[in-house]
Amino acid sequence: MTHSAKPKTHVRWIYLILALRNLWRNPKRTLLTLFSMVLGIAALTLLSALNDGWLKEMQDNFILAVTGHVQVHAVGFEASQNLRDRMPEIEPVRGLIARDTALSGWTLRVRSSGLASLGGTGAGVQIMGVDPEQETWVTRMDQSVQTGRWLRPGQPRDLLLGSTVAANLGAGIGDRVVLTAQRPTGEMASEVFYLHGILHAGAPQIDRTLALINLGEMQSWLGMGEAVTDVVLRATKHGASTGIRERFAASLPAETFEVMGWQELDPMVSQWLKFSGAYGLILILIVVALALVLVEVLNTMLMALHERTRELGILSALGTRGGQLFAMVLLEGLLLIFAGSLLGYLLGAGLVSWLALEGTGGHRPLPLRQRLPVLLHEPGDPSPADLGVGAAGRPLSGLEGVAYPHQRCPEEALIYAPASEQEPPRRPPPGREDHRGAGSVQMFLGGDHALSGPERGGAQHPTG
């Protein structure tokens, strides 16, 4: 019993020993394949992180430019854009804001369509009254001031225009601009403002249409009292916006308030982000990964297989079964894939971290902490399942390249196996059962438990 247990324990490691020895028998080829896999996976990791960083920046630019994560309006306001559909009382909303820990900021607004005119030139605008201090808690509009300055609290007649609106009007800093809008009662009202800043955010809703003034001044000018049209909420992270919208919608009376997430405020942007994410995943993970890793590993393994047909034939002649040959050579490819993937991801993570800290070409640092291994995972980034797709896809594509040539191991082995081994096996006499398999592989290694003599079984080869 002791003698039979020892070979079984040794067999557990026989394939790993063979795989490591065979990989090191040709170190030049092994290191060259490993080097190319490391560079390829590092490049794919970097491209994937760049793609995710670009998508996150697009999402940030839309949400934090002007929209916010969630908006609360009076029922029907978003569809009508009419000041008759305003919120005269927002105390229920204030109570929810105070209790919700997923919020990082909120602000009040009044929005109305109107006309901006300078001299004999006019342009349609969206007039927005904001709180200059609270607005900076929710959006980045204060960072979009291209010329001039941001609104000052309590400063009368302050006006900021989008860059395209200012260009169409021919307006410059200090010019008098007349704004005209409709009051909730239906009458038209005009007021003179002085241009103190020009906004350029790269977003059409700001550059092409926006006219920004102080909230209190707009409420007074249009006779709205303390009423507002929007309560804009900012979440601590993008993933929390859906939960915030659902909690506010469940707590506020549906006949008075409507609660909308950023996806509902602009469905086209939401669909574009989803499409861009899917397109980037398909392009980088499938097309590039298959073209680079699959073809590279496939060619390398086919070349290695053809160089070792004599060795595989000898192993087959010694009694090694086809499944054992397949497992032995497959393990070599798995070791290459594992080592190449690990080193490639580490190199890619280093490149991404360096870019995130240093930036590129004089631009500000890039937020590129997405779709890396769990090394760089943070709450609010893609889920672990999403990370697993990117982390496992490239090694799995390499596995496909390993499996095909290794399935041919038994066929290649038969080419150089002695003719007697290709004949149907004879039934051994009683007491001389066939013990071929793991023992014959050990004999090829010269191990202590190699089988010999009558224990080998199988056909006897002719001599001379």
Q: Which of 225, 223, 436, 406 is nearest to 318 (CA)?
A: 436
Whether the per-residue pLDDT at 246 is higher than 70: the answer is yes
Instruction: Assess whether pLDDT exceeds 70 at residue 410.
Output: no
Whether pLDDT at 309 is above 70: yes
Examine the pLDDT at 419 and tell me if it is beyond 70.
no
Q: In terms of DSSP bridges, do strands 103-118 and 230-235 run parallel, antiparallel, or are they unpaired?
A: antiparallel
Q: Give per-residue pLDDT as tens, 285-294.
A: 666 666 665 6
The C-alpha atoms of residue 108 and residue 87 are separated, in whole angstroms, by 11
Q: Is 459 helix (H, G, I), strand (E, B) or coil?
A: coil
Q: Give the pLDDT of residue 360.
A: 54
Average pLDDT of 399-413?
50
Better-predicted residue by pLDDT, 333 or 161: 161
* d(C-alpha 47, C-alpha 40), whole Å: 11
- The Cα–Cα gap between 305 and 310 comes to 10
| Residue tagged 């799995």 (tokens) | 396
Q: Residue-wise over 342-377: b if at least 16 C-beta within 10 A, else e?
A: ebbbbbbbebbbebbeeeeeeeeebebbbbbbeebb
Strands 103-118 and 176-182: antiparallel
Fill in the DSSP letter of residue 228.
B
Q: Report the share of the chain in percent with pLDDT over 90.
A: 34
Average the pLDDT over each of 114-118, 133-137, 205-209, 389-393 and give the range with the smallest value: 389-393
The percentage of residues in the chain with a pLDDT greater than 70, rounded to a whole number, is: 67
Stretch 414-436: mean pLDDT: 48
Spatial distance between the Cα atoms of 141 and 131, rounded to a whole number of angstroms: 12
Max Cα-Cα span within the chain: 116
Q: 339: which 2 tokens?
A: 């080592």
Read off the pLDDT of each residue in 427-442 and give the average, rounded to a whole number.
Answer: 48
Residue 116 has φ and ψ, to the nearest 5°, of: -110, 135
Strand partners, 230: 109
| pLDDT tens readout for residues 20-72 | 887 787 788 778 778 877 887 787 777 777 777 777 777 777 788 888 999 99
Mean pLDDT is lowest, of 7-16, 93-102, 341-350, for: 7-16
Q: How does 85-118 read in b/e, with b if 16+ C-beta sit within 10 Å?
A: bbbeebebbeebbeebeebebbbbbbbbebbbeb
Highest mean pLDDT among 39-48, 374-383, 408-417: 39-48
HEC profile of 53-109 = HHHHHHHHHHHHHHHCCEEEEECCHHHHCCCCCCECCCHHHHHHHHHCCCEEEEEEE
Evaluate the CA torsion angle 97, 101, 103, 104 in order and state its sign: positive
Q: What is the DSSP letter of 360?
A: S
Q: What are the Cα distances from residue 85, in Å, to 111, 227, 228? A: 11, 10, 10
CA distances from 352 to 51, 88, 276, 345, 375 (A): 12, 50, 20, 10, 12
**186-200, 295-309, 345-359, 433-447, range with the lowest pLDDT:** 433-447
Band of residue 326 on the pLDDT scale cut at 50, 70, 90: confident
Asked if 107 contacts 134 with a C-beta cutoff of 8 angstroms, the reply is: yes
User: Which two tokens mark 38?
Assistant: 């490391």
CA distance 25 to 266: 61
Q: What is the pTM of this model?
A: 0.61
What tens digit of pLDDT does each residue of 64-95 get? Answer: 888 899 999 999 998 888 999 999 889 999 99
Average pLDDT, whole number, for the chain?
A: 75
Rounded CA separation 34/339 (Å): 7
SS3 assignment, position 17:
helix
pLDDT at 218 over 60: yes
pLDDT at 200 over 80: yes
Distance (Å, whole) CA 394 – CA 196 = 54
Structure tokens that stand for 240 in this block = 């929390």
Pair 232, 265: CB distance under 8 Å: no
The region of weakest confidence among 96-100, 116-120, 164-168, 285-289 is 285-289
